Each structure stands twice: as C-alpha cells, then as structure tokens.
Structure 1
Amino acid sequence: MSRCRDGRVRSRDEKRKSLYHGRRFPASVISCAVRWYFRFQLGLRDIEELLFERGVIVGYETIRRWCDKFGARFAHGVKATRRKPGTTWHLDEVFVTLRGEPYLLCRAVDQHGAELDILLQKRRDKAAAKRFFKRVLASCSEVPRKIVTDQLRSYAAAKAEIPALAHVKHVFVKASARINNRAENSHQPTRERERRMRGFRDPERTQAFLSSFGPIRQHFALKRHLLRASLYRKQIAAPFAAWRRFTEITQVPSVF
C-alpha cells in the first residue's frame, strides 16, 4: 500500500499500470484491430481501411506492432477462459514452406477439436517429437488418457522417454485412411491464412503468429451452421464478454 498526494491510500490495482499504458489510441480500437487480424482473413491494410471508415487514422505498421505486442497476451487469456481440454490428444504434422525451405508444423488438438498447442520445427526425428510432447504437456493441466498419431516412429520413441506419457495409451492410424481427421482438419484454417498472406516467411514470426491465431480464432468460431440465429447470438455473447474482460475493456464499444 502507498498514499496518494491527497492522503488517500492507493491500492495495488491502482498502482498497476494499464495494459495499454503509453498508447495513443484507446483500448477499444487496439483490441478490435487485434481481434480482426487473428479472427478473420484480413490483412493489415484491410484493417487500416476498416478503421479509417470508422474515423480512426492509423497506419498498418502500427497495427502490426499491436498484433505483435498484444496477440500472445490475448491468446493466453483465451486459453485461460476456455473449457478444460479433453482426455484424448490428436497429433498431426504438416509441411509448410518458409522462403523456399520446408518446415514441419506440429499441431495437437483434443477430441473436441480445440487446439492445444503448435510447434514449428525443422526436423522430424525423436528429439523434435519429444520437444513437442513436452510443450503440449506444459500447456495442459492434465495428462491425457489416449494419444492418437500417424505411424511416424519418432512419436512412439519420444513418448517412451517421457515419464508422464510412458504409460498412456497410444493409437497409431494410417494417414491415408483419414481416421485422424480431427487433427488433419485442424490444419485447414492455417492453410487458408497461409494463402491469404501469400506464404509464411520468418520461422520465429510464423511461430508467434500461429500460436495466437489458433486460440483467438477458435474462441469466436462457434458451429454456426448447427444453431438457430437467436441461439447463436446468445452463445456468441459469452466469448465477447470474456474477450472484453481479459483485454481490459470496461464497456461494450459501440463506436470508436
């Protein structure tokens, strides 16, 4: 505790700086721009145009810096508010090309299709699989009951060397049989965004972008085709309320 100039006791919450401390634009503009970038198939210049239409003059490079600074933090908030991960992990990998070089993008999802984690790696060996297993374990609160992968041998070798996963049931499926569709289908939004961005380039920036892109996109991606319009509006209100909470927006932004 400390005292203000007027003698009033200042609480810890008052001493903590705002998430947007030092920013010229209000929180509603920044959080909206970041949400648009990770939620929709929009480029930075598209968001610049949308904001200009609403009377906000900001350059696309500023929007890029907002996404770099706040994207990971907002994605962490999304993960903290989502439901408990499922007990079955589906792991799959897909090749992506960065400046002409092949990289392996490993992704883990649960049986509900929720993305647990992703990792961009250069190799496809036991060490790479072990690194990915440890990363997914660190992001999940509990060990799974079952792990589903393709027939890549490095998964089994890496799993055997991790004590927490050594006795977990491991199911191998053939990639050509499309049995592991839960994980394979999770690559589609990444492929669509890759085409929209005309390919990924830098490995570190790609890892940072995809780590924020998956959680934020899924936070708002309800199965709209299965819901009536009134029910959809009712269910989508909860993700927006959670978004306003961890982005520290005190009220619903009507106009900028």
Structure 2
Amino acid sequence: MKKTQTPRKTLASGIAKVLKRLHYPLEVILVCVRWYVGYSLSLRDLEEMMAERGISVDHSTVHRWVIKLVPLLERMFRKHKRPVGKSWQMDETYLKIRGQWKYLYRAVDKPGNTIDFLLRTHRDKPAARRFFEKAIGQNGAPQTVNMDKSGANLAALQAINAACETPIRIRQVKYLNNRIEQDHRAIKRRTRPMLGFKDFRSARIILGGIEVMHMIRKGQMKCAKWTGASAAQQFYSLAS
C-alpha cells in the first residue's frame, strides 16, 4: 500500500490509548476511517480495497475502528472548528435505523457552513429544543433562524427565546431554507450505500464522522500549522 501522508507527531492521548488495542498501523486505520466517512463506500468495499493493497482486514474490524475513533476525532475537530455566521437555516432529514425512520436535525449558516447536527429518535418539540440548545452551546446564539412551517421547531425556539434577553428572530419561509435542504444531500449520498444503520449508537457516531469530513471539505477547520493542507491531511491531523 502506498505510504499515506498521516501526521508523525505525538498522538492525542485518547487516540493513543485506543490504538494500543487495535493492532494495525495508524496509517491503515486512519485511511479506512476517512474513506468510510468521506466516500460512498460500504464496509465490504473497504475490505476488498485493502485486500488489493495487500492488507487483510475484515469489514467488521473497519466498523470497530470507526466506532472507537470517530468520537475522539469529532471532539478534536470541534476544538479547531471555525466560527459560524449569525443567520441560520435549520431543518431535519430522515434516516432509517433498524427499519425505522429517525431524524437528523441540522443547521447551516448563510454561506453554507455547518453549524451543528443531532440525531434524535422523535421529531417533536423536545428533540428540536435539544438541537437548538446544543447548537447554541457550541456556536453561540444566532440573530436569525430560518426554518420551514414545522410547529415543533417553532415551539422549541420560542421556548428558548422565553429565557433569552435578546430573542432570536424566527423566519418561517420555506424557500429561505433551500441551502440546508441542498446540504442534506451530501449526507444522504454518503449514507445510501450503508442500506440503513443497525443501531442508534452506531448511527450517531458514524454520522458524526460524515459530518466532520463534510465540514473539513467546506473549509471549516482552522489549520494554523499547515497552510494549504488537503482535506485528507486535515482529517489525519486530528489524531495528533
């Protein structure tokens, strides 16, 4: 296998601890994780691609790498995430988990940068409120939120406004949400080869990795160390 341009610096402590139990070179593990969250590939596709490169790894092993490493990589990414704008577009999309539809809440700002995301079992006021609380906690309060005509989303944001000194302006005009609806497609395109998730926890973790890679591609990661670093280099740098 061609040598991968992964960082050769001290690993983050949490990642170093996980890698001790994975018994494969760091380069192989990170390449598999990045390809899985970044491209429309199944786990069996990755098993076959690694075999062609002389590396024997079972698809279930790749899945285990993703589940163990993605939460750590996402946590590191959030430390380096660029600030987002104050005008948000918020919406939810549908994903199938064990044959049942679940709801991925997402928001982008005016230029299309991802603000935050949250997978929930139900599509209701508590789910929407939890999403807004998470997004505001991570990114600060927006000035305006554009959303569709969902009563649950409206009620959730009104409840948050009731406790705010400066209420968030709410705009429920469907055509203003085109950007977030278009942005959903990048996530859905990646999840399609998975043919549905097997459990909620795995879905939440994998979606986190997909969203991180999507944000990196959109230029949302601060790269103080590397000027002009590729998306792959930025992803690998999260391990150091």
Give the aligned partner of residue 134 of structure 2.
135
* 8 Å Cα contact 1:104/1:123 also seen in 2: yes
Structure 2 unaligned residues grouped into runs of 5+:
1-9, 220-226
Residue 234 of structure 2 is aligned to residue 242 of structure 1: yes
Query: What is the aligned partner in structure 2 of residue 108 from structure 1?
Result: 107
Q: For the pair shown, which has the larger CA radius of gyration, 1 or 2?
A: 1
Supply the RMSD in Å over aligned alpha carbons: 2.5
CA distance in 1: counterparts of 2:103 and 2:236, whole angstroms: 35
Alpha-carbon distance change, 245 to 164 in structure 1, aligned in 2, over 3 angstroms: farther
1:165 Cα deviation after fit: 8.1
CA displacement, residues 157-176 of structure 1 (integer Å, 9 cap, x when unaligned): 222222248611111112xx
User: Which amino acid in the other structure matches residue 181 of structure 1?
Assistant: N
RCO higher in structure (CA 8 A, sep ≥6): 2
What is the letter of the counterpart of residue 213 of structure 1? I
Aligned mate of 1:158, from 156, 160, 174: 156
Provide, for residues 93-145 of structure 1, a one-character-per-residue CA deviation record: whole Å limited to 9, x for no partner: 123333443322211122222222222333333222211111212222x2112
Alignment-derived partner of residue 38 in structure 2: 39
Show the 5 A alignment for 1:1-20: 18-19=16-17, 20=19
Identity of aligned residues (%): 30
Q: Any idea what the Cα deviations from partners look like across 1:167-192, whole Å, max 9, x if unmatched?
A: 11111112xxx331111112112322
> Which amino acid in structure 2 is aligned with residue 82 of structure 1?
K
User: Given that residues 30 and 66 in structure 1 are in contact (C-alpha distance below 8 angstroms), is that contact kept between their aligned partners in structure 2?
Assistant: yes
Q: Which amino acid aligns with 1:121?
A: R
| Residue among 113, 127, 144 paired with 1:146 | 144
* Bigger mean CA deviation after superposition, 207-216 or 72-81: 72-81
- For residues 9-44 of structure 1, give each alpha carbon's deviation from its aligned partner in whole angstroms, at most 9, with x where no partner exists: xxxx89x58352233211111111110100111111
Query: TM-score, normalised on structure 2?
Result: 0.80
CA–CA distance in structure 1, aligned partners of residues 51 and 43 of structure 2 = 12
Alpha carbons 1:81, 1:242 under 8 Å: kept: no
Counting matched residue pairs gives 219
